A and B are shown apart, each in its own frame.
Chain A
Amino acid sequence: MSEAVVDFNVNNYRLFGVHTFTSIDAKLAVIFLPAGLKYHVGPHRLHVKFARRIINDKICAYRIDPYAIGESDGLLKSGSVQNIWRDIEEGKFVPDIVSMIHHIKTQKGIDKVVLFGICGGAVTAEYVAEKIQIDGIISVNTACLLSSSNKSKKQITNKQAGNIFRNYFKRAFSFDGWRRFFSGQSDYNALIQIVGNLKRRVLRSRKEIDGINTKYLKLLSKCKERKVPHLFIFGERDGRWLEFQDIALKNIFNNEMSNNNYDIHVIQDANHELHLKEWQDKAVDLINIFLENEVNDA
């Protein structure tokens, strides 16, 4: 295996990435997109570990930094992380990434591109697929809700409310639970949200959940219609899976976990960033099967 630093000139800025390969003849590139504000190595360098495990003579990998992230030129403007996340969820990195992919396709002899993204990176992947030909998307714990600029107003979905409700229901029979409630240690915002959610269900209100990333969901629908191969991986314990079930699974995927063009997998007990090695192993297995099908299709 070899690795090399690659740089791209985009709008007179130098943007950087790392190319991982075993053969310069590889025709399929998996491009790892930044997860939120975490630079090209990804959370706990997951992109590095995954890139080194999925490449072969037919497949190479790039992990890239858009402007103001990681090795690339520029400094992020100061501000609330929630606001910056929201900008990313609305497509902040898309122009830089499209330019870098264009360069990789035209200068590096790559025929097919598969995008890999965790959380905000998965959202970015969908926006990028709207702008440039993409041959597959691997989404890990993708985000259907926009980050709130005001945490206290963060909405929760039915599944999340149900989850929290079950936890609080257990605590209703515990002395410690009531002690926490009366001593101001409970998450009152969550309780208010649960009551609101129950009210919506009881009154069968058609009021929609606030903060849904409708632009992303439309693109997800379009991608499905265009039959862009898509592998979704979720951690069973991640709130993003609950969101996805409430918001996208029913409305876009008719509650079907797979068809010819997409597969939705849930890794038991896994969290948002797939911390444990066994969760990562499972994800790599799924990705390798997905990529093998992609390469075979070529």
Chain B
Amino acid sequence: MSIRGFLEDKDKRKIFYTLDGEEENNSELWIVCSPIFEEKVFTYSFIKNLADNLASKKNLVCRFDYLGEGDSDNSDAALSVNDWVGNIKNLISHIKCMRDVTKVNIVGLRLGANIAMEAAKECAFEKIVLLAPIDIGEKYINELLRFNLSTQLAAFRKVKYDRGSLKDSLLAGQSVNILGYELYERLFLDISKLSLREQLDNIKSKVSIIWFDKTDKISIPSRYLELSSKNPNLFLSSLKLVSFWHEPKYINVERAELIQKVTEAIDDLG
């Protein structure tokens, strides 16, 4: 049985969500966290396919659009990562009211992985799977700002505002356009301060991280290898894979190799 609909939060803001999985034999719920902005659009089919795969293994699976993303309500300057964590908490409570859920797990792609880790500070997840997480939030923000520079070049044939000016504008309360999405100060600061290494500190859940690289020489940052050697609940693996969260030249929605890798990662977590 599957549900597609909207869930209203206490502030009457509507979140689009889907819930898939058979009515019976479901005790494990998986929450699937997408990337944000245009990465979400480009990975939508993969995320749906991943959710369908998890649901086919007798899991309940919930996909959703963060506030200000997809079909969910529009956001404003006050939007924060904490709002997105709130979306996850609301959905879990809502689903627990409808279904008999004993364990809750979470999987996230790109910034969705980091949002999953933020949610883990407030929710007791049994298993966490992180796909190509953002290592350092500030670097990711610089990647986002680069898109604004490209838009400026295309529209005005020159860069009127460099990265420094864009950051100043954000801190002055103005929004900066990222491929059509408006980024505001609050979210800019929240994402900038994210550090996966710090997010992994004191985590009690079992966590599996899958790193991607387009070459065979995938290097997992040493600080994670070091952490993994001390923490038996942290599992690291890698996959040779071209990033598919930007405009692709080749479509492979199924991504069987990645789905297989996620299955193995979940098995590792027991």
Contacts and interface: CB of A to CB of B under 8 A. Distances in A.
A5 B18 CA distance: 11
A132 interface: no
Nearest to A271: B154
Contact of A271 (B69, B71, B155, B250): B155
Interface string A104-116: 0000000000000
Interface in A1-55: 3-5, 7, 16, 18, 37-41, 43-46, 48-49, 52
A277 B155 CA distance: 13
B245 to A, nearest CB: 13
A276 B37 CA distance: 14
Interface string B225-248: 000000000000000000000011
Contacts, number: 94
A171 interface: no
Interface string A264-290: 000001110111110000000000000
Nearest to A35: B41
Contacts of A39: 41, 44-45
Contacts of A18: 16, 71
A79 interface: yes
B38 interface: yes
Contacts of B219: none
A269 B254 CA distance: 38
A121 interface: no
Given A71-B4, A71-B18, A48 B252 contact: no
B173 interface: no
Contacts of A275: 151, 177, 179-180
Nearest to A70: B44
Contacts of B78: none
Nearest to B52: A75
A80 interface: yes
A84 B151 contact: no
A271 B151 CA distance: 8
B181 A44 contact: yes
A237 B154 contact: yes
Contacts of B182: 277
Contacts of A3: 6, 14, 71
B70 A75 contact: no
B251 A37 contact: yes
B48 interface: yes
B71 A76 contact: no
B249 A75 contact: no
A237 B155 contact: yes
A81 interface: yes
Contacts of B6: 3-5
Given A43-B180, A75-B253, A78-B254, A276 B48 contact: no
Interface residues of A, number: 39
B27 interface: no
Nearest to A82: B249
A104 to B, nearest CB: 17
B74 A49 contact: yes
A76 B253 contact: yes
Contacts of A80: 249-251
B18 A46 contact: no
B54 to A, nearest CB: 16
Given A81-B248, A81-B251, A271-B151, A71 B48 contact: yes
A236 B113 CA distance: 38
Contacts of B179: 44, 273, 275
Interface in A217-260: 237
B169 interface: no
B50 to A, nearest CB: 12
A180 to B, nearest CB: 16
A48 B41 CA distance: 13
Nearest to B69: A45
Interface of B: 4-6, 14, 16, 18, 37-38, 41, 44-45, 48-49, 69-71, 74, 151, 154-156, 177, 179-182, 247-254
28 contacts: A3-B6, A16-B4, A18-B16, A37-B251, A39-B41, A40-B71, A41-B41, A43-B38, A44-B37, A44-B41, A45-B41, A45-B180, A48-B70, A48-B74, A70-B48, A71-B18, A75-B45, A78-B252, A80-B249, A81-B247, A81-B248, A81-B249, A81-B251, A270-B155, A271-B154, A275-B151, A276-B151, A277-B182
Interface of A: 3-5, 7, 16, 18, 37-41, 43-46, 48-49, 52, 68-71, 75-76, 78-82, 84, 237, 269-271, 273-277
Given A5-B6, A46-B180, A275-B151, 18 more contacts: A4-B5, A37-B251, A40-B71, A43-B38, A44-B38, A44-B41, A44-B181, A69-B45, A71-B18, A75-B254, A78-B250, A79-B251, A80-B251, A81-B249, A237-B154, A273-B180, A275-B177, A276-B177
Q: Which 3 A-B pairs have the closest CB atoms?
A: A44-B180, A275-B180, A5-B4
